[in-house]
Amino acid sequence: MTIHIDNESTQQVDFDYNKLIESTILKCLDYEKCPYEAEISILLTDDNEIKEINKQYRGIDAATDVLSFPAIEYGTPGDFSDLEKSEEEYFNPDTGELILGDIVISVERAIKQAEEYGHSLKREIAFLTAHSMFHLMGYDHMTDDERTIMEAKQKEVLDLLNISR
């Protein structure tokens, strides 16, 4: 398993964010029964940087809490069964790991949202990580049905990690 975490945020946190992010990622992969070792990159940044990334890649000139850049196109969300057919496309040739994609989290925005929602920053970072991981595994929330499924999965993973509001 390769989890690259780059912290460009100037915000100070009172917990080990590396451990929290890694445990959340592992729990999401386990929950979805991912049969492969995976490679994921995470960037922790601020509102200005995530705004620039959002503008560059999505054409939206606004800061957001989290961005997900999946490396895989799934026929069915969370279905890893057809990926071996595209081994060269989805797997790192050096490590054999499944390249899931990239996650960008604004720690600045996470701090604001934790205060707004009345829960800990630890819970907010874990939630944003889980949310983005499900995007990397093909889930979305564009329809009510998709949103219901994704929200349930996020909640179950956080419950399994004993991270609550």
Feature table: binding site for Zn(2+): 131, 135, 141
**CB–CB of 66/29 below 8 Å?**
no
- Tell me phi and psi for residue 35, to 5 degrees: -80, 5
- How far is Cα 104 from Cα 43, in angstroms, rounded to an integer? 5
Which element (helix H / strand E) includes 78? none
Residue type, 120: S
Task: List residues forming the annotated binding site.
Answer: 131, 135, 141
Count of alpha carbons within 13 angstroms of residue 156, beta-carbon side: 12
Task: Name residue, tokens 């060269």.
Answer: 88
- For the beta carbon of residue 97, count every other beta carbon within 10 angstroms: 17
**CB–CB of 97/39 below 8 Å?**
yes
